[in-house]
Amino acid sequence: MPIVISMPALSPTMEYGHLIGWHKKEGDSVSVGDVLFDVETDKAVMQVESSESGVIAKILASDGTEKIAVNTPIAVLTERSDSPSDVTSFIEKILSSSSRLTKSEEPSETSCSQNASPNINSENRRAISPLANKIAKKSGIDALSEQITGSGPRGRIIKKDIDAFIEYSNKKQSGLSHTRAYIDSSVSSIRRVIADVLGESKRTVPHFYVSTDCDTSAMLDLRQKINDTLIGKKVSVNDMIAKACSLSLLDVPEMNSSWRESFIRRYEYVDLGVAVSMEGGVMTPVVRNSDKKSIVQISDEIRLLIQKTRDKKLPPEEFQNATFTITNLGMFGVSNFDSVIVPPQAGILSIGESAQKPVVRNGKIEIGNVMTVTIAADHRVADGAVAAKFLGVFRNFIENPLKMVL
């Protein structure tokens, strides 16, 4: 009997998926575990494997189709024993009951095949290859603009069409010295989730901010000694900050908590989120039980998580349910900044640059390395004294780093 392949829910917050491209075509045999297609979710690009065996009888959503609602049929899988008439009837029934595959407010930006859905006016759609679509988005180009002529099969827009349009636009722009130009770029799924989650956080969570300066000289010396003993890898300042933060959360558990409307949940473990910049946004992969791991173990794990994040191969279980988050812009020369709390966490620690500044040691002014850190705290969970206590403990670990390794 024919089987419907639907857009899966690959994360708890996923409502729509962008079908990047199929790994199979109509008529191909499929076995359990075969990769069927790539999907851009609200968090990452993920490969979807088949849970059934059979033959792809019909693909209902083509490469590049955007905003396909979860559970929407996108293909039909059959067994070779199914009769052609039964398969045809089954597909017709699916098409007649299927809702719109895309809910984009700007239909011209979506590419669908004529088989995508009877509710989509395919005559008004223009096809584009996944590679061409990717290049266009990266360049901020409306790939389905009438200005771009497709030279592929049936007028499909392919890579060379986008390249030609970019070259033409550059030449045209170079001859205009006083134009007031701008570029509109589409909002990625990741950027949309950031906007929704952090916008809601800023509206509903009563943020307050507390800052302190840390003398990082001793920490930098210890880091150098650790790295001198390691072969083939290095511990970063951020790795040591992650360890210091994890231990501080154990000493001040009020900050390792979350607001739950009718109660406050205090965690007896630390799952530390580490903000990582990537193309199109920021994600926070999680180091589980970071309080129980050494600096070197944390370093190895963060390095792997960063690579997965930037390759867009981070599974949901590795970026969800952190108990606290750190974010570091020091490597960009930022002295200090405030961050937005990721609900339901009670706080987020912002790390500035470790820079040379005058410091007082034993009554004398010397040149030291100073780093400004700022905690954003949820006033429903913690008060100013609690946030200040946390920063004091954190500063003590940074300025006396042997406490982190003994």
Nearest alpha-carbon partner for 397 in 243, 236, 226 = 243
pLDDT at 340: 97
The number of beta carbons lying within 10 Å of the beta carbon of residue 154 is 9
Catalytic residue among 23, 178, 207, 379: 379
Sequence spans of domains, the chain: 3-109, 126-174, 206-404
Q: Residue 132 is inside which H or E element, if any? A: helix 130-138
Q: Which CATH number fits domain 206-404: 3.30.1360.120, 3.30.559.10, 1.10.3720.10, 1.20.120.160?
A: 3.30.559.10
pTM comes to: 0.63
Model pLDDT, residue 190? 83
Q: What is the pLDDT of residues 358-368, one digit of tens each?
A: 888 888 998 98
pLDDT tens digits, one per residue of 58-76:
899 888 888 888 889 999 8
Architecture of domain 3-109: Beta Barrel (2.40)
Distance between CA atoms of residues 289 and 276, nearest Å: 19
Kind and range of the H or E run holding 26: none
pLDDT tens for the chain, residues 1 to 406: 788 898 998 877 788 888 989 999 988 999 988 899 988 876 677 888 888 888 888 899 888 888 888 889 999 888 877 777 777 888 888 777 664 443 333 333 333 333 334 333 333 345 777 788 888 888 888 766 657 877 776 677 888 888 888 887 777 666 554 556 778 877 877 888 889 999 999 999 999 999 999 999 999 999 999 999 998 889 999 999 999 999 999 999 999 999 999 999 999 999 999 999 988 789 999 999 999 999 999 999 999 999 999 988 888 899 999 999 999 999 999 999 999 999 999 999 999 999 999 888 888 998 989 999 999 999 999 999 999 999 999 999 999 999 998 8
The CATH homologous superfamily for domain 126-174 is: E3-binding domain (4.10.320.10)
Domain 3-109 and domain 126-174, same fold? Reply is no
Please confirm, yes or no, whether 178 is among the known catalytic residues.
no
> For position 101, what pLDDT does the model report?
42
Site of tokens 């072969």: 231
Distance of CA 4 to the CA centre of its chain: 29
All residues at 6 or more sequence positions from 291 whose CB lies less than 8 Å from its CB, including other chains: 246, 247, 249, 250, 269, 270
